[in-house]
Amino acid sequence: MSQYILALDQGTTSSRAILFDHDGRAVGTEQQEYRQIYPAPGQVEHNPADIWESQLTVAKRVLRRSRISAEQVAAIGITNQRETTLLWEKETGKPVGNAIVWQSRVSSGICQRLKEAGVGDRLREITGLLIDPYFSGTKLTWLFENVEGLRSRAERGEILFGTVDSYLIWKLTGGRKHVTDISNASRTLLFDIHQQEWSPEMLEMLNIPAAILPEVVDSSGLIAETDPEIFGKSIPIAGAAGDQQAATFGQICYEPGMAKNTYGTGCFMLMNIGSKPRLSENGLLTTIGWRINGQTTYCLEGAIFIAGAAIQWLRDGLEIIAHASESEAMATSVEDTHGVYFVPAFVGLGAPYWDAEARGLAIGLTRGTTKAHLVRAALESIAYQTRDVLDAMNRDSGIRLAELRVDGGATSNNFLMQFQADLLQTSVHRPVILETTAMGAAYLAGLGIGFWESQAELTKKWVIDQAFEPAMTSDEVDKLYRGWTRAVERSRGWESS
């Protein structure tokens, strides 16, 4: 019987399951959206039951519809929305409230407190991260300060913490394994990326009980085995990584200096910087990409909070498009934005600004502005934010990229990809297979059990679909980008003004 790798891709707005064969081809895909919960402005939550049930549903459905049995699944790889924070009861598995999503700014006050205490430099030295509500640690602090009795229960060992990978593995193993992969651990604000272990200093700084923490494991290798009751037999879980690290692995960015950008709900650019961490001086994050056989790869990362979510807002909030796929035709129906800039700072700005108080704006509006201009400005905002990040990355690394590898749903928009190449004045390469996040999880799992022999074997599987080359002059680009930087400046600090 043919063997396959099952990739579970648990994202911010949907759960997916994709089956990959030995050639790296997706032979079956299922996806299910689930509920978003907005308790207050700037706050985002998920029901843990929705996360689990949607992921389990698509996993079973892809096997059934592809007519592939559990015996044919050589291993499972897991990739997930990062920084989203879950707590559950150790004995019952019952969640302690909703998951606090990475986008949520609920811990803004705690972050301000940390900044005023002057601990930012020390925090960055240990974790490679910055003080921002984005990360799991301050979300945990907020939960312990606001849920009555939670801290005492945690200190008694009754409560477990996990990011989404940890929660899924716990559920898939019937509660037998409480682990997290090292890439996810490095996004919590609680992990020492140099010593590669939970940091007692960070736990003390954020007042987090150590008893809640999962064991940290490699991104590839035998991590756990599923409860046989779930799929009818036990299946090895042999790969796990946060979604952006998984996408970097799936894009075959195995050499220092190689970079990819994923266009999803948010937008995330990662550059491989090799086996030693390097702290950013330009507002980027230093993160662990993956660890295989004890060998760690580090990355620089620029995190943009709102990318594809801006197009979802045009569809669901303003209702000026019915489907995201309409955005390209509408954008190209006008020659330019008519001077309109759109800054999608709905939950603040990420890299390189890290301004939790920024809020979204559209500026340059006139009576001549149409919905097509606004749609085009929203698409352009994704490319502008990416330019912000790449400029910072170039300064940190001293490397001028020859190409940027791209993936994610929005890369199917040719207008956006061409505008991105123009703005960056750099070649943008879109691969044939865009599901690189799930593919990265599959590759990690397959390497972990010998389904694929080496990273060199995987390198041969990356095939380009289309290269977008810069067509604008540098003077044209500079003029457009100056307008963007003025618009961003006006969006900043809004909540505190």
Give the side-chain half-sphere CA count within 13 A for 66: 26
- For residue 225, give both structure tokens: 């085995």
Q: Tell me if 287 is assigned to a ligand binding site.
A: no
- For residue 164, give both structure tokens: 């989404």
Q: Tell me if 400 is assigned to a ligand binding site.
A: no
Q: Tell me if 473 is assigned to a ligand binding site.
A: no
Q: Tell me if 388 is assigned to a ligand binding site.
A: no
Q: Tell me if 14 is assigned to a ligand binding site.
A: yes
Q: Tell me if 105 is assigned to a ligand binding site.
A: no
10 Å Cβ neighbour count for 358? 25
Backbone angles phi, psi at 18, to 5 degrees: -130, 135
Beta strands in 432-473 (DSSP E): 464-468
Give the whole-angstrom CA distance, residue 83 versus residue 46: 13
Q: Tell me if 16 is assigned to a ligand binding site.
A: yes
Determine the 3-state secondary structure of 491 from DSSP: helix
Q: Tell me if 109 is assigned to a ligand binding site.
A: no
Q: Nearest Cα to 472, choosing from 462, 481, 460?
A: 481
Asked whether the beta carbons of 223 and 186 are under 8 A apart, the reply is: no
Q: What is the DSSP letter of 214?
A: P
Give the whole-angstrom CA distance, residue 262 versus residue 410: 9
- Provide the pairing of β-strand 403-407 with 259-263: parallel
Q: Tell me if 134 is assigned to a ligand binding site.
A: yes
Q: Which residue's structure tokens are 């929705």?
A: 50
Determine the 3-state secondary structure of 332 from DSSP: helix
Q: Tell me if 244 is assigned to a ligand binding site.
A: yes
CA distances from 251 to 91, 394, 424 (A): 40, 20, 19
Give the whole-angstrom CA distance, residue 37 versus residue 176: 29
Burial 414-436 (b: 16+ CB within 10 A, else e): ebbbbbbbbbbebebbbbebbbb
Give the whole-angstrom CA distance, residue 254 versus residue 245: 11
Run of H or E including 436: helix 436-449
Give the whole-angstrom CA distance, residue 347 versus residue 466: 33
Give the whole-angstrom CA distance, residue 497 versus residue 492: 9
DSSP-assigned beta bridge partners for residue 160: 88
Q: Which residues are annotated as a binding site for glycerol?
A: 82-83, 134, 243-244
Q: Which residues are annotated as a binding site for sn-glycerol 3-phosphate?
A: 12, 82-83, 134, 243
Q: Which residues are annotated as a binding site for ADP?
A: 12, 16, 265, 308, 409, 413
Q: Which residues are annotated as a binding site?
A: 12-14, 16, 82-83, 134, 243-244, 265, 308, 312, 409, 413
Q: Which residues are annotated as a binding site for ATP?
A: 12-14, 265, 308, 312, 409
